[in-house]
Amino acid sequence: MRVNERRLLTWLVAVTLGAASCATLHGGSGSGSAEAGAVSYTPPADPPGDMVLAAATGGPGVQPTPRLAQPGDPYRDALADAYKSFKGLAEGKNADYIPILGKVDPSLYGLVIVTVHGAVYEIGSARDEFSIQSVSKPFSLARVIETAGPDAVNKRIGVNATGQKFNSILAIDLLKNIPSDEKHVIPAGNPLVNAGAISTVDLLPVARGMDKWSVILGNLEAFAGRKLAVNDEVYKSESETNTHNRAIVQLLKDYEVIQGDPMEALDLYTRQCSVSVSARDLAVMGATLANGGRNPLTGVQVVAPSTAAQVLAVVSTAGLYETTGEWLYKVGVPAKSGVGGGIVAIVPGKFAVGTFSPPLDPAGNSVRGQRAVEALIQKLGGNIFAAKPVGRSRETKAEGPPAPMGPPAPVAGKSPPQPAAVAGKN
């Protein structure tokens, strides 16, 4: 048995044992996985509505007890404020290039925070399910880093931002003409654009006799800490209309990035994007990355801390596609969006936010979700680039900073100095 196969089997045994030791399965119609991932808590039955519900797990596998969060709790206050501030915001438009997404109620709006200690805060449509779409991509990337290794991802898919739209064909062809070294080109871009995400699924190694789909779904379940299912209507709608992605996979096959059957890779990717999740699930999945790869609700170590760090690096540079730089500049946390209206934002070592609101900006990112995360991070802190100065501060001079250096003023009776002659020849 090869090393990768052994790692994959070890992981599957671990998550299945996690499932065996835990409680009720929850939610979702459609086609679930044969091998359920770790499932160890049941979200409280009553949705939070306009109040913030809080629950603490009390330790891995212990059922959370929901209660109304009290004013003065910083997470509660920040969540209640962000929710209220953007509830009436009507900017953006549902994705409709996947026809069924255009029919989702645009007023649905939910926000959830999950901390690395397993506290859950939720408000609004926190439990309403929607298709995960591109928010699935970092989690499949994590599994591929674990099984194929970080170098394989770097060499075959790449980890640099493309600066182009998520489904750009132009980016693939541009990168094809920019070798990363003498022999090597990595035209898929990165694992978060469609080209790279489909290639990630193609690259995913599976142990002999194992079905790739159950590995993909079992992995998402281990991150979410509960059983998940494909929304069959979304899968059908997307499969019937994904002509652009079909062009991408044929090009990637021609460029030898996709090595298996391109239509099979596309089908697995489309199913992955059609998995139903809630904002609450996204927050738990994000909190697992924030917590060094360990799910704070189930206690299962889903991926290694080093894998979580590598995934977060890629999410930081490419999570919101062509607007990622602007996002990082303004908000300063890694975040990943999906055209279903979900966003997950991660503050390593602290907490993650899951949001759901279908109307999107032109880059394909939820408008309200971005605004709410920005407000939460400003209130709670978490900008990964922000640092408090340490050491003794020196007094700033009352008259302010020194004047900018200009050319010296000419001395009376003398001509101004000329630039020094350049020695030698060019």
Residues that bind ligand DON (CB under 6 A): 133-134, 166-167, 194, 238, 245, 273, 337-339, 364-365
Cβ nearer to ligand DON, comparing 167 with 190: 167
Outline where 243-297 has alpha helix (H).
243-254, 262-273, 279-290
Nearest to 357 by CA among 374, 370, 346: 370
Cβ nearer to ligand DON, comparing 121 with 166: 166
Nearest to 120 by CA among 293, 299, 283: 283
CB atoms within 10 A of CB 404: 5
Helix (H) or strand (E) holding 355: strand 351-356
Nearest to 85 by CA among 370, 277, 281, 283: 370
Cβ nearer to ligand DON, comparing 57 with 274: 274
Q: Which residues pair with 277 in a beta bridge?
A: 130
**At its nearest, how many Å lie between ligand DON and the CB of residue 220?**
14
Rounded to whole angstroms, the Cα distance separating 178 from 182 reads 10
Q: Which residues pair with 355 in a beta bridge?
A: 111, 343
Question: Each residue of 354-390: b (16+ CB within 10 Å) or e?
Answer: bbbbbbbbebbbbbbbbbbbbbbbeebebebeeeeee
**At its nearest, how many Å lie between ligand DON and the CB of residue 271?**
10
Cβ nearer to ligand DON, comparing 13 with 247: 247
- CB-based contact 179:197 (threshold 8 Å): no
- CB-based contact 78:379 (threshold 8 Å): yes
One-letter identity of residue 411: V
**At its nearest, how many Å lie between ligand DON and the CB of residue 357?**
13
Cβ nearer to ligand DON, comparing 225 with 342: 342
Cβ nearer to ligand DON, comparing 78 with 197: 197
Cβ nearer to ligand DON, comparing 199 with 245: 245
**At its nearest, how many Å lie between ligand DON and the CB of residue 134?**
3
Cβ nearer to ligand DON, comparing 80 with 335: 335
User: Residue 333's Cα: distance from chain center in Å?
Assistant: 11
**At its nearest, how many Å lie between ligand DON and the CB of residue 356?**
13
Rounded to whole angstroms, the Cα distance separating 40 from 19 reads 7
Cβ nearer to ligand DON, comparing 126 with 273: 273
**At its nearest, how many Å lie between ligand DON and the CB of residue 186?**
20
**At its nearest, how many Å lie between ligand DON and the CB of residue 116?**
26
Rounded to whole angstroms, the Cα distance separating 96 from 271 reads 18
Closest residue to bound ligand DON by CB: 134
